[in-house]
Amino acid sequence: MVGLAFLSNPSAEKHRAKIREQVAERSPLAGLLGVGQLTAFASTYHPLGMASYTTASGKVVSVGAFGVVVVMLPWEEKR
Protein backbone atom coordinates (compact mmCIF):
# COMPACT_ATOMS: atom_id res chain seq x y z
CA MET A 1 0.00 0.00 0.00
CA VAL A 2 2.84 2.39 0.85
CA GLY A 3 4.52 1.68 -2.47
CA LEU A 4 1.28 2.39 -4.31
CA ALA A 5 0.96 5.71 -2.47
CA PHE A 6 4.47 6.75 -3.53
CA LEU A 7 3.91 5.73 -7.15
CA SER A 8 0.52 7.40 -7.48
CA ASN A 9 1.43 10.71 -5.82
CA PRO A 10 0.07 13.43 -8.17
CA SER A 11 2.67 15.46 -10.06
CA ALA A 12 2.98 19.24 -9.99
CA GLU A 13 1.40 19.42 -13.44
CA LYS A 14 -1.57 17.32 -12.34
CA HIS A 15 -2.14 19.73 -9.44
CA ARG A 16 -1.91 22.75 -11.77
CA ALA A 17 -4.25 21.24 -14.36
CA LYS A 18 -6.83 20.51 -11.66
CA ILE A 19 -6.55 24.08 -10.30
CA ARG A 20 -7.18 25.55 -13.78
CA GLU A 21 -10.10 23.19 -14.33
CA GLN A 22 -11.74 23.86 -10.96
CA VAL A 23 -11.46 27.66 -11.20
CA ALA A 24 -13.09 27.66 -14.63
CA GLU A 25 -15.80 25.26 -13.45
CA ARG A 26 -16.61 27.16 -10.26
CA SER A 27 -16.51 30.62 -11.85
CA PRO A 28 -16.78 30.95 -15.63
CA LEU A 29 -15.83 34.64 -15.40
CA ALA A 30 -12.67 33.81 -13.44
CA GLY A 31 -11.93 31.14 -16.04
CA LEU A 32 -12.26 33.66 -18.86
CA LEU A 33 -10.06 36.15 -17.03
CA GLY A 34 -7.35 33.52 -16.55
CA VAL A 35 -7.49 33.43 -12.75
CA GLY A 36 -7.05 29.65 -12.78
CA GLN A 37 -4.06 29.88 -15.09
CA LEU A 38 -2.48 32.57 -12.91
CA THR A 39 -3.13 30.65 -9.69
CA ALA A 40 -1.74 27.45 -11.21
CA PHE A 41 1.34 29.28 -12.47
CA ALA A 42 1.95 30.98 -9.12
CA SER A 43 1.46 27.82 -7.07
CA THR A 44 4.38 26.04 -5.44
CA TYR A 45 4.40 22.24 -5.43
CA HIS A 46 5.32 20.43 -2.19
CA PRO A 47 5.85 16.64 -2.50
CA LEU A 48 5.65 14.67 0.74
CA GLY A 49 6.43 11.26 -0.71
CA MET A 50 3.05 9.62 -0.27
CA ALA A 51 1.06 12.84 -0.76
CA SER A 52 1.57 16.36 -2.09
CA TYR A 53 0.11 19.82 -1.95
CA THR A 54 0.43 23.22 -3.60
CA THR A 55 0.44 26.68 -2.05
CA ALA A 56 -0.08 30.18 -3.41
CA SER A 57 0.32 33.35 -1.36
CA GLY A 58 0.98 31.22 1.71
CA LYS A 59 -2.33 29.34 1.48
CA VAL A 60 -2.90 25.70 0.56
CA VAL A 61 -4.59 25.54 -2.85
CA SER A 62 -4.64 21.80 -3.52
CA VAL A 63 -3.82 18.50 -1.86
CA GLY A 64 -3.27 15.17 -3.54
CA ALA A 65 -2.70 11.49 -2.84
CA PHE A 66 -3.28 8.19 -4.67
CA GLY A 67 -3.57 10.03 -8.00
CA VAL A 68 -6.41 12.29 -6.80
CA VAL A 69 -6.12 16.07 -6.45
CA VAL A 70 -8.60 18.14 -4.42
CA VAL A 71 -8.65 21.90 -4.93
CA MET A 72 -9.44 24.21 -2.02
CA LEU A 73 -9.64 27.69 -3.47
CA PRO A 74 -8.70 30.17 -0.74
CA TRP A 75 -11.01 32.93 -1.94
CA GLU A 76 -14.17 30.82 -1.76
CA GLU A 77 -16.60 31.71 0.97
CA LYS A 78 -17.04 29.07 3.67
CA ARG A 79 -20.64 27.93 4.06
| Assigned domain for 77 exists | no
| Assigned domain for 79 exists | no
Tell me the mean pLDDT in the region 13-23: 95
Angle between helices 12-26 and 35-42 (to 10 degrees): 150
43 in helix, strand or coil?
coil
Length of the chain: 79
Residue 15 has a CB neighbour count (10 Å cut-off) of: 24
First-to-last CA distance in the chain?
Answer: 35
- State CA 58 to chain mean position distance: 14
pLDDT higher at 49 or 1:
49
> What is the predicted pLDDT for the residue at 79?
47
The pTM is what?
0.84
Which domain covers residue 48, as residue numbers? Answer: 2-71
| Assigned domain for 78 exists | no
What is the overall mean pLDDT for the chain? Answer: 90
| Assigned domain for 76 exists | no
pLDDT tier for residue 16 given thresholds of 50, 70 and 90: very high
